[in-house]
Structure 1
Amino acid sequence: MTILTDLRERTRTWHRGAYLCAQAFAVITVLCVLAMLIDQRTLNGAPLWAKPFKFAASGSLYFFSWSWLVSLLPKFRRTASVLTTVLVVIFSAEYALVVFQAARVRASHFNNATPLDNTIFQTMGGMIAALWMINLLLTIAVMFTRLPDRATSWAARIGALLGMIGISLATLMSSPTPDQQAVLDATGQSAMIGAHTVGLPDGGPGLPILGWSTVGGDLRIPHFLGLHGLQALPLLALALGVLATRYPRLRDDVVRVRLVIIAGIGYAGLLAVLTWQALRGQSIVAPDGQTLTAFALLIAGVAVSGLIAIGRPAKDRELEASVR
């Protein structure tokens, strides 16, 4: 059996539309890389095709995850399948607008400079609201997921919740900055309403490709990491299952469930610290003492909890039932 044949067999029950969309965005990701190599133009200090690249890569991971998760649902699978199809259509339409604006060398987000720019961003805003609602309904459905491997079940549930938090964090970017609000108060209009960066205008120095600010706070960081908790937690459960073949202690599914739950709490804590850091206008590459202390306490708490979870024996079947 070839690798491709094996992959097709494993994904046979996945949501077909989301799976094909994920594959399409994987191809588009590569095309965006080529576009960045060929087209050296920039927009607000970042490569012109960087945003379409990031959206395509993120969309590919997002839809691979949902095509798998929907196939696991013991209930509401038909409804969830329809909602996922709508999700594919809306996200694809939003992505088309992102590419359209990039082709025009115009900002796709927060852009109020012209009637067309404003119409595009308001349309995208409506799409984002619909995506948020559908994602919420699918996340609720995932809470009913039960698999033979309970660590994977919990990873799917927690990952879906983290993804919901990540999507919700985008609302923090939509309010006018103090400078934009001052312009609005004085003139009644502003070319840009909303920003990624806190404390400085968008478009300053940033990390390569990602564009995350290296001189101010950046709300895209917790937004991005939250979205991809949907992949991180299931991958952790998969890794624990693989390690269980070598380490007998991990063969106890109660231990693996404990570790997944601890990791989920730690991931949520990381999102809280990164959001707090960004809202204080602090760059991810220049944390102050308070931020470093918070990171250290978070790492220590997760590490100690993990060691306790591994060392503590499962008492009985009642304990197993309690973590279902």
Structure 2
Amino acid sequence: MTTTVDPPETLNTARMRTWHRPSLRFAASMAVAAVLTIAAMLIDRRTLLGAPVWAKLFKFAVSGGLYFFTWSWLVSLLPGRLRKVASAATTVAVVLFAAEYVAMTFQAVRGRPSHFANTSPFDSALFQAMGLMVAGLWLATLVATVLLMFTRLEDRAVHWAVRTGAVLALIGAGLGALMTQPTPQELAKIQATGHSDLIGAHSVGVEDGGPGLPLLGWSTTGGDLRIPHFIGMHALQALPLLAFGLALLATRLPRLRESAVRVRLVWTGSLGYAGLVGLVVWQAERGEPLIYPSGPTLAAAGLLVGAVAAATAASVLVPVRKKLR
């Protein structure tokens, strides 16, 4: 016997009154910053490493806005003391991200790289300080993520989507550390001259600043470590949206009214998403552009798609074992 599925309680807009206010307000400020950086790009035509000087601030505003909007909601799901601790940790994360964004803005005004900069002792010290901010932000998010693991949600599909999305986002954020290592070209320059203006890079196999995808700027001639960093972090939105979408589809598709079926599909989506993150890390580390995959990359992608398709079919078609009362 199946039961009618109501939209999860977590979708109720009335719950926004309990959302974490500092991160919600900060997400709104990032939306404003995104608009302002678009205006800045139209007015200020300077470029830096082949991209508009304000482009990185625009991308950080959009990504940061989505990230903290989602965490504002996630904190509201925690009960009692867990919510208080997660609220404090998330507030710390907001403050650290805001400080990093101010430092990036300062460097954009100066026309200097905000990340990997080693042009002067000041630039190097500022980048190191930003690195400490990012490390603190990651640790604060780790605390909130661990607390989320102890929270039980009524809708089981949303319950697992929130958990797996938060863990994958934490991993994706940590992948940013891959960009901080000096490239072979930079090491060669240091050996030859004792100095390199940049220490670390987004691209693999080519220098930063070459041809890239419109708006995103991801390299089209080499690997780009920003891709797994971005994809991983936004599991935080993708997987809960998958669970919400399944709940809405359940109002039309009787098979999805079984909670166990939706949970299976969420786990399939989560494992498939983790596989995608691993795939794009592997591709980037081999110096391969996202849009020009090699034979091995295509074969791995085909296996991943086939596995997800098979698991999806099994999730829907295999009967749900009924619990004896």
Q: Shorter-chain TM-score category?
A: over 0.9
Alignment-derived partner of residue 76 in structure 2: 71
CA contact (8 A) 1:46 1:209 kept: no
Alignment-derived partner of residue 16 in structure 2: 11
| CA drift at 1:263 | 0.3
Aligned match for 1:29, one of 25, 34, 46: 34
In structure 2, do the counterparts of structure 1 residues 68 and 263 end up closer, same or farther at CA, with 3 Å as the change threshold?
A: same
SS state at 2:17 partner: coil
| CA drift at 1:8 | 6.8
Say yes or no: does 1:108 pair with 2:114.
Answer: yes
Q: Which amino acid aligns with 2:229?
A: H
Aligned match for 1:166, one of 148, 169, 172: 172
Q: TM-score, normalised by structure 1?
A: 0.94
Aligned match for 2:63, one of 55, 58, 71: 58
Q: How does 1:131-210 map to 2 (within 5 A)?
A: 131-210=137-216
**Residue-by-residue CA offset, 1:212-249 (whole Å, 9 max, x unaligned):** 00000000000000000000000111100110000000
The farther-off stretch of 30-39 and 152-161 is 30-39
| CA drift at 1:38 | 2.4
Please give the alpha-carbon distance, in whole angstroms, between the structure 1 residues aligned to 2:123 and 2:16.
40
Please give the alpha-carbon distance, in whole angstroms, between the structure 2 residues aligned to 1:256 and 1:223.
27
CA contact (8 A) 1:196 1:220 kept: yes
Q: Which amino acid aligns with 1:43?
A: L
Say yes or no: does 1:292 pair with 2:294.
Answer: no
SS state at 1:145 partner: coil
Alignment-derived partner of residue 302 in structure 1: 308
| CA drift at 1:7 | 8.7
Please give the alpha-carbon distance, in whole angstroms, between the structure 2 residues aligned to 1:95 and 1:179.
28
Note the residue ranges of structure 2 that are not aligned, 5 or more in a row.
1-10
Q: TM-score, normalised by structure 2?
A: 0.93
| CA drift at 1:185 | 2.9
Higher relative contact order (CA 8 A, sep 6+): 2
Q: Percent identity?
A: 56
Please give the alpha-carbon distance, in whole angstroms, between the structure 2 residues aligned to 1:33 and 1:241.
36
Alignment-derived partner of residue 91 in structure 2: 85
Aligned match for 1:249, one of 252, 255, 259: 255
Note the residue ranges of structure 1 that are not aligned, 5 or more in a row.
1-5, 319-324
Please give the alpha-carbon distance, in whole angstroms, between the structure 2 residues aligned to 1:41 and 1:284.
27
| CA drift at 1:115 | 1.5
Please give the alpha-carbon distance, in whole angstroms, between the structure 2 residues aligned to 1:299 and 1:201.
32
| CA drift at 1:182 | 1.9
Please give the alpha-carbon distance, in whole angstroms, between the structure 2 residues aligned to 1:139 and 1:265.
18
The farther-off stretch of 224-233 and 175-184 is 175-184
| Matched pairs, number | 313
Alignment-derived partner of residue 321 in structure 1: none
| CA drift at 1:188 | 3.4
**Dislocated runs of 4+, deviation >4 Å:** none
SS state at 1:210 partner: coil
Q: Which amino acid aligns with 1:250?
A: L
Aligned match for 1:97, one of 74, 99, 103: 103
